[in-house]
Amino acid sequence: MDRLETKIKKLKKEKNAIILAHCYQNIEIDSVADFVGDSLYLSQKAKDTNADIIVFAGVSFMAETAKLLSPTKKVLLPRTESGCFMANMIDVKSLREFKAKHPDIPTVCYINSTAAIKAECDICCTSSNAVDIVKKLNVPKVLFLPDTYLGKWVEKKLENVEVITYNGFCPTHLRILPEDMDFARKTYPTAKILAHPECHTKVSEKADFVGSTKEIMECVKHSVDKEFVIATEKGVLDRLQRDYPDKIFHLIKETIVCQNMKWHTLEDIYYSLKNETYEITLDETTAQKATRCIERMFE
């Protein structure tokens, strides 16, 4: 494995490439990644990089986003199977029907969506900034897609904004049930329960803290507490256990694993970089519209 890491690092230098890895990836990929983080952080790194090649260890919408933000770069997704179930729950036809039912209302799309969907929306957001984005629109109603639970969490945080949500969801986070939270509370009475806003509303209500991947990690970093239950994808727990060996972590349940996020291996990264496969390409008109949607988020 060390030899493979050395070969990847050598190729990165030769090709002026960087590797971006999401926190849900297999943890061994961190050893060759230049940046590891959540969607917002990786989007910013894709936007700012001077590299010629971006290898994205994540799912397809993330690689598309990197391409939108760095259109002159070659963006590679090592495994084409790495899709997102939530992103695939909405297509352009469904989105247009959703908007037609609620005309003249701004459309906010979660970054967990395809470029084609972003191209049809007014502004993009991530779980880190969704509340701020909707608040700054300063309107009484917004359409939010594709994740209904993140949308309703935003509505609860703002109170004076009606968030009309599309009926999409993350299958991984939906595996966490209210009774799992009750079991964790009873089993680990001194632990703080940290949950992602993609969880069902009835789950989020039972958490001590609700936040994005980055916010959950920051919460642990700055907390005086020593024991935590992690109610999000297992990759977050793996990194917290590595980074904070003096603290105790429990995964809410063993099935909270996103298989699409786990496709990539170090071998895949190596061959992707060596052969420059598989390159992300986007229709120019779609790309222009989708890029504007994301740029509004950064503005």
Q: Quick: pLDDT tens for 79-134.
A: 999 999 999 999 999 999 999 999 999 999 999 999 999 999 999 999 999 999 99
Alpha-carbon distance values, 41 to 107, 126, 297 (Å): 23, 10, 13
Residue 294 belongs to a domain = no
Segment 16-44 mean pLDDT? 94
Whether the predicted pLDDT of 64 surpasses 70: yes
Segment 65-88 mean pLDDT? 96
Strands 141-145 and 192-195: unpaired
Q: Tell me the residue type at 78.
A: P
Are residues 181 and 148 located together in one domain of the fold? no
Segment 151-158 mean pLDDT? 98
pTM: 0.95
> Whole-angstrom distance between the N-terminal and C-terminal Cα of the chain?
42
Single out the residue in 149, 165, 181 at which a domain terminates.
Answer: 165
Residue 291 belongs to a domain = no
| Residue 40 pLDDT | 79
Are residues 75 and 100 located together in one domain of the fold? no
Given pLDDT bands bounded at 50, 70 and 90, which one contains residue 43? confident
Residue 234 belongs to a domain = yes
Residue with tokens 């904070």: 244
- Specify the CATH number for the domain of residue 53: 3.40.50.10800
Residue 296 belongs to a domain = no
Residue 95 belongs to a domain = yes
Cis, bond preceding 106 (omega within 30 deg of 0)? no
Given pLDDT bands bounded at 50, 70 and 90, which one contains residue 36? very high
Are residues 18 and 79 located together in one domain of the fold? yes
Segment 274-288 mean pLDDT? 97
| Residue 146 pLDDT | 98
- Per-residue model confidence as pLDDT tens digits over 225-241: 999 999 999 999 999 99
Residue 109 belongs to a domain = yes
* Alpha carbon distance 162, 13 (integer Å): 49
| Residue 199 pLDDT | 98
Are residues 158 and 187 located together in one domain of the fold? no
Are residues 235 and 277 located together in one domain of the fold? no
Whether the predicted pLDDT of 143 surpasses 60: yes
Are residues 179 and 226 located together in one domain of the fold? yes
Q: Is 181 helix (H, G, I), strand (E, B) or coil?
A: helix
Q: What percent of the chain has pLDDT over 90?
A: 96
Are residues 238 and 202 located together in one domain of the fold? yes
Are residues 178 and 161 located together in one domain of the fold? no
Count of structural domains, the chain: 3
Are residues 180 and 235 located together in one domain of the fold? yes
The residue ranking higher by pLDDT, 46 or 166, is 166
Are residues 132 and 156 located together in one domain of the fold? yes
Q: Cα-flanking dihedrals φ and ψ of residue 109, to 5°?
A: -110, 135
Whether the predicted pLDDT of 31 surpasses 60: yes
Segment 251-265 mean pLDDT? 97
Residue 42 belongs to a domain = yes
* Average pLDDT value over all residues in the chain: 97
CB atoms within 10 A of CB 187: 10
Residue with tokens 């420059």: 276
Are residues 48 and 123 located together in one domain of the fold? no
Given pLDDT bands bounded at 50, 70 and 90, which one contains residue 1? low
| Residue 134 pLDDT | 98
Are residues 40 and 6 located together in one domain of the fold? yes
| Residue 188 pLDDT | 98
Element (H, E) at 68: helix 60-69
* Alpha carbon distance 253, 15 (integer Å): 41
| Residue 39 pLDDT | 85
Q: Is 128 exposed, middle or buried (0-12, 13-18, 19+ CB in 10 A)?
A: buried
Residue 288 belongs to a domain = no
**What is the domain range of residue 103?**
87-165
